[in-house]
Structure 1
Amino acid sequence: MSRPILEVIALTAQDAQAAESGGADRLELVTDMAADGLTPSVADFAAIRAAVSVPLRVMLRIRDGFAPGDLDELLARVAALRAEGAEEFVFGFLGADGAVDLAATTVVATAVEGCRWTFHRALDHSADRSAVRAAVGELPGLDTFLTSGAAAGVKAGLGVLLGELAKSGEPGYRQGILVGGGLRAEHVPELRAAGFDAFHVGGAVRGNGWTSPVEAARVAAWRTLIDA
């Protein structure tokens, strides 16, 4: 049986190296956490790719919130990142009504054809998460939903997470669940006992918020926790 997945948010090559050293299996690459994580530059992606060997999932989000913004600009960034070697991505878009923006999500999924990708926590902010899952569940390349079960985080969303795990294999629920968003160490034993096997952390592996770097020792502590 493979070990649980630990994904760590990285903003810099220094973050990436510390995360890999601490035992992260995969990194989510972003910039500007004041806007909850936007698409990094091609130069930053290239620097991080050169610094580590673990898989990298690159955020595709050019504005705060969950609307896609300028799709032409976003697609140009996708093309540039793919030309630089990006192979995995993170995205997902909502309309003003909280429903999935299926047109925009499909356009981007087509642009990353052949790549694996995560539908991110837009799911937790949607008006109807089951409708989102049904709408996007068959899009090519989608293998993961990053979710805490609720906009307020894992503590509030635990019941939802457990319900969705129980539906694994059904349409809209065939993808893996990557638990993240308000995830704290004390949540992990119950989540592991229930059968969750993928975890996503960001601020929890930094000493002083997003202005401080990832610390390898903190990543290693999470590695030990989820492997227990």
Structure 2
Amino acid sequence: MSIVSTDQVPGHGPAPLLEVVVLHPRDVAGAHDGGADRIFVVDDLGLDGLSAEPSVVSAVCKETDLPVRAMLRLNDTFTTTGGELTRLVGLGEDYLAVGAEGVSFGFLTSDLTVDVEVCAHLADALGVVPWTFHRAIDASLETSLAWRQLRGLPGLDAVLSAGSSRGMGSGHEELTDRAVSDAGVADLLMAGGGLRGEHVPWLVRAGVHQFQVASTVRPGGTKKAHVDAGHVRAWRMLLDDAADRAAGRPTG
């Protein structure tokens, strides 16, 4: 298997990073063999992701040498309570102990702004490991404010967004415009949540280099089907081709 490096590509920033969402160890082979750069473990695809059992994360980590991240989220909202926060810290510690490289979480206040206090507490409690702020940003009241709030959080290296709570079909232009106008956004943005092939060239040209796929790498788009290597490989080739074209390199 050839895994594309995320090192700097001469003339056009980092190479595309492809993160594949998995539900269990049986999904790992398809992601690995198809050319994923990173694996993201969740318990449910239908609720924007919930926390998996540590045993599941452990089993996934044993199946691959790719970096693995795991979701820290215990309910189907983007808020959390003090009791949940204690459980989330414990879960995060368990995930890291069984081999996860990082985590993903994201919380908002009752005013629908980024809950900086909760997010910073989690990041600090886990030792400032790399982490992704997930789709909560698409539910925030003011996206520009949310991006400003996120920039100072320790360890944050990705912000998963579709540009709209309705998904990429509604939000891809917003994402592209924001990335074009702000290189800091482009560097942090992980495009995902209804991502389609036609969105990729525009996002890559805007400087976006992180992408997440979930149901589109499963035959029929159903969670009952395992991640398929051929489907992952098609995304891998699409991202690499878009990066080559954006950089003016010859394509195959």
So what's the TM-score if we normalise by structure 1? 0.92
Q: Detail structure 1 runs of 4+ shifted over 4 Å in the superposition.
A: none
Shift of 1:83: 2.3
Pairing 1:179–2:191 present = yes
Separation in 1, partners of 2:171, 2:157: 21
Question: Which of the residues 31, 41, 61 maps onto 2:43?
Answer: 31
Shift of 1:174: 7.5
Question: Which of the residues 29, 53, 64 maps onto 2:65?
Answer: 53
The equivalences for 1:7-22 within 5 A come to: 7-22=19-34
Separation in 1, partners of 2:93, 2:202: 41
For 1:214, the equivalent position in structure 2 comes to 227
Separation in 2, partners of 1:160, 1:87: 30
Shift of 1:144: 0.9
For 1:196, the equivalent position in structure 2 comes to 208
Question: Which of the residues 64, 69, 74 maps onto 2:76?
Answer: 64
The equivalences for 1:137-152 within 5 A come to: 137-152=151-166
Separation in 1, partners of 2:187, 2:128: 16
Question: Which of the residues 96, 107, 123 maps onto 1:109?
Answer: 123
Separation in 1, partners of 2:211, 2:228: 17
SS class of match (1:146): strand
Q: How many equivalent pairs are there? A: 226
Contact 2:183 2:207 in 1 (8 A): no
Contact 2:186 2:207 in 1 (8 A): no
Separation in 2, partners of 1:120, 1:34: 14
Q: What are the ranges of 5 or more consecutive residues in structure 1 without an aligned counterpart?
A: none
Question: Which of the residues 167, 176, 179 maps onto 1:165?
Answer: 179
Question: Which of the residues 52, 60, 64 maps onto 1:40?
Answer: 52
Contact 2:179 2:186 in 1 (8 A): no
Separation in 2, partners of 1:52, 1:28: 12
Percent identity, aligned pairs only, is 37
Shift of 1:26: 0.6
SS class of match (1:6): strand
Q: What are the ranges of 5 or more consecutive residues in structure 2 without an aligned counterpart?
A: 1-8, 242-252
User: Structure 1 counterpart of 2:227, which letter?
Assistant: V
Separation in 1, partners of 2:206, 2:178: 12
Separation in 1, partners of 2:209, 2:17: 6
Moved more, 119-128 or 77-86: 77-86
Contact 2:96 2:102 in 1 (8 A): no
For 2:236, the equivalent position in structure 1 comes to 223
SS class of match (1:213): coil
SS class of match (2:137): helix
Q: CA RMSD in A?
A: 1.7
Shift of 1:217: 0.6
Shift of 1:197: 1.9
Aligned pair in 2 of structure 1 residues 113, 19: CA closer, same or farther (>3 Å)? same
